[in-house]
């Protein structure tokens, strides 16, 4: 991109921002300012100057800009550029004005706003000349494809699908869904800001996996899957989530565990018939959540559900998802080692401090999980901690 073009694009951006503010005067750039015209001031050779002046003259001749030149010398030195016709300047540069881009984006996306209200926020921000996830209204086609995919995947929430196979089915492109992940995240979370969720958790919310993942169980009892009763073997049993029909167990509670290393450690040390352990695999997929409800239904009457996850934004998002399922199943849903008040010296020394924005989101998700006391503890003692950093395994009730 030539120096003159960069200056002209900056001038057009200034004109569009001025229009959005409702400014009365025409937008202009002083050519003696480093901030406005550093490219011009940095030119060193006569050839560079002549090329720059020629490009500016072409934009002037197209009726796009007005040019104020110095009266002294040969009269070629530029002093100020002023937009006379933003549309003409956009055509001269081969770009589209903001109104045109956002109008096309609105037309492309308006059918999805009722189903995904966050799209209205995206359009509003684009209409103000702001970017979302680093993209402007030119990304509307990507957002529309993400909405199409999210809606299609939601039609059969009890199934788990292979990521690249679904991408081929929907778009005839095995990697299209992966490229759409930032937009899928916005649709899944309903928030424009990055959630902090790993890509795999965003996909899991939609029932997508890179490869099939079993639901892992540890404890005592048996699972009926595919019409066959299977004992929960030591140290654990893996079953396809969609195959689980019902559970029989003497366990006094169910403890869901977010991370695989922690689940394996806990499975080896499981305290007899007291606990039934289940690995969430990060963010639970729709099929996993259906299986979770069936596990909850198989617990003895009055047995609560506990959850042990990372003390971070993703951990509390997962907890909020599980809380909805546990509450709908009539089970009390409790946090296990997820409050700063639960931690001891060694664990506290391994903790990090979240940003203010991340802390606010953690507290909000903890409250949505039904744990206001945890949200209050986080506000008093802001920290993040992965569950693997905790010391010896303890059990609810100990």
Using the predicted structure, report yes or no on whether residue 347 has a pLDDT greater than 80. no
Nearest C-alpha neighbor of 316 from the set 384, 376, 366: 366
87 and 200 share one domain: no
Burial of 114 (0-12, 13-18, 19+ CB in 10 A): exposed
Find where tokens 């995240």 sit. 185
pLDDT in tens, 157-189: 677 889 999 999 999 999 999 999 999 999 999
For the chain, the domain total comes to 3
Question: At which of 66, 93, 120 does a domain end?
Answer: 93
395 part of a folded domain: no
CA distances from 18 to 14, 22, 25, 129 (A): 6, 6, 8, 11
Edge-to-edge strand order for the sheet containing 215-218?
237-239, 215-218, 275-279, 253-257, 305-308, 333-335
Using the predicted structure, report yes or no on whether residue 398 has a pLDDT greater than 70. no
- Please tell me whether residue 34 adopts helix, strand or coil conformation: helix
Q: Is the dihedral of CA 354, 359, 361, 365 positive or negative?
A: positive
48 and 126 share one domain: no
- Please tell me whether residue 180 adopts helix, strand or coil conformation: coil
Element (H, E) at 99: helix 98-109
Q: How far apart are CA 84 and CA 303, in angstroms?
A: 73
396 part of a folded domain: no
Q: How far apart are CA 321 and CA 313, in angstroms?
A: 13
| Cβ–Cβ < 8 Å for 20, 26 | no
CA distances from 227 to 158, 247, 304 (A): 18, 12, 27
pLDDT in tens, 217-260: 999 999 999 889 999 988 999 999 989 999 999 999 999 999 99
12 and 25 share one domain: yes
Using the predicted structure, report yes or no on whether residue 155 has a pLDDT greater than 90. no
pLDDT in tens, 349-382: 788 999 999 999 999 999 999 999 999 999 999 9
394 part of a folded domain: no
247 part of a folded domain: yes
291 and 352 share one domain: yes
248 part of a folded domain: yes
287 part of a folded domain: yes
Question: At which of 93, 114, 133 does a domain end?
Answer: 93
Domain at 39, CATH number: 1.10.10
125 and 142 share one domain: yes
Using the predicted structure, report yes or no on whether residue 79 has a pLDDT greater than 80. yes
| Cβ–Cβ < 8 Å for 221, 268 | no
Tokens of 131: 């970017």
Tokens of 138: 């030119």
14 and 32 share one domain: yes
Q: What percent of the chain has pLDDT over 90?
A: 72
352 part of a folded domain: yes
Q: What is the DSSP code (8-state) at residue 61? A: H
Q: What percent of the chain has pLDDT over 70?
A: 97
CA 340, chain centre distance (Å): 26
143 and 204 share one domain: yes
Helix 181-189 crosses helix 140-153 at what angle (to 10 degrees)?
A: 60
Q: Which tops the pLDDT comparison, 308 or 196?
A: 308
203 part of a folded domain: yes
Question: At which of 93, 123, 148 does a domain end?
Answer: 93
221 and 353 share one domain: yes
Domain at 347, CATH number: 3.40.1360.10
259 and 292 share one domain: yes
Find where tokens 């006379």 sit. 84
- Read off the pLDDT of each residue in 119-129 and give the average, rounded to a whole number: 94
> Can you give the length of the chain in residues?
398
283 and 356 share one domain: yes
197 and 76 share one domain: no
Residue 174 structural domain: 98-209
Q: How far apart are CA 224 and CA 210, in angstroms?
A: 26
CA distances from 242 to 210, 236, 361 (A): 17, 18, 32
Element (H, E) at 360: helix 356-368
For residue 228, the cross-strand partners are 225
For residue 237, the cross-strand partners are 217
pLDDT in tens, 35-45: 889 999 999 99
Contacts of 6 (CB under 8 A, 6+ apart): 39
For residue 162, the cross-strand partners are 209
236 and 369 share one domain: yes
pTM of the model: 0.73
Phi-psi group of 392: left, alpha or beta (phi > 0 → left; psi -120 to 50 → alpha; rest → beta): beta
């Amino acid at each position: 991109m030539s120096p003159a073009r960069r200056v002209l694009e900056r001038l057009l951006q200034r004109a569009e921002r001025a229009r959005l503010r409702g400014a009365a005067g025409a937008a202009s750039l002083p050519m003696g300012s480093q901030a406005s015209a550093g490219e011009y001031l940095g030119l060193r050779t006569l050839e560079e100057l002549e090329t720059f002046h020629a490009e500016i003259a072409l934009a002037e001749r197209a009726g796009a800009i007005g040019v104020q030149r110095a009266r002294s010398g040969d009269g070629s030195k530029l002093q100020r550029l002023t937009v006379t016709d933003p549309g003409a300047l956009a055509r001269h540069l081969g770009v589209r004005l903001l109104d045109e881009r956002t109008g096309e984006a609105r037309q492309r996306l308006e059918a999805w706003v009722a189903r995904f209200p966050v799209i209205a926020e995206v359009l509003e921000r684009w209409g103000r000349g702001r970017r979302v996830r680093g993209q402007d209204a030119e990304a509307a086609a990507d957002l529309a494809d993400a909405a199409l995919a999210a809606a299609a995947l939601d039609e059969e929430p009890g199934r788990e699908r292979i990521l690249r196979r679904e991408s081929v089915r929907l778009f005839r492109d095995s990697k299209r869904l992966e490229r759409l992940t930032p937009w899928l995240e916005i649709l899944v979370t309903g928030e424009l800001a990055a959630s902090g969720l790993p890509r795999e958790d965003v996909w899991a919310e939609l029932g997508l996996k890179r490869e099939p993942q079993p639901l892992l169980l540890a404890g005592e009892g048996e699972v009926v899957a595919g019409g066959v009763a299977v004992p929960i073997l030591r140290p654990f049993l893996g079953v396809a989530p969609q195959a689980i029909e019902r559970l029989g167990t003497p366990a006094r509670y169910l403890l869901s565990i977010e991370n695989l290393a922690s689940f394996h450690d806990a499975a080896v040390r499981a305290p007899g018939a007291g606990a039934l352990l289940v690995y969430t695999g990060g963010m639970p997929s729709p099929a996993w959540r259906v299986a979770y409800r069936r596990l909850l239904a198989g617990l003895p009457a009055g047995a609560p559900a506990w959850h042990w996850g990372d003390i971070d934004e993703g951990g509390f998002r997962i907890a909020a998802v599980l809380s909805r399922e546990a509450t709908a199943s009539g089970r009390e849903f409790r946090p296990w080692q997820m409050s700063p008040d639960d931690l001891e010296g060694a664990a506290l020394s391994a903790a990090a401090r979240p940003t203010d924005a991340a802390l606010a989101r953690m507290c909000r998700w903890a409250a949505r999980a039904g744990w206001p006391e945890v949200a209050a503890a986080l506000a008093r003692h802001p920290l993040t901690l992965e569950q693997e950093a905790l010391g010896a395994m303890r059990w609810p009730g100990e």
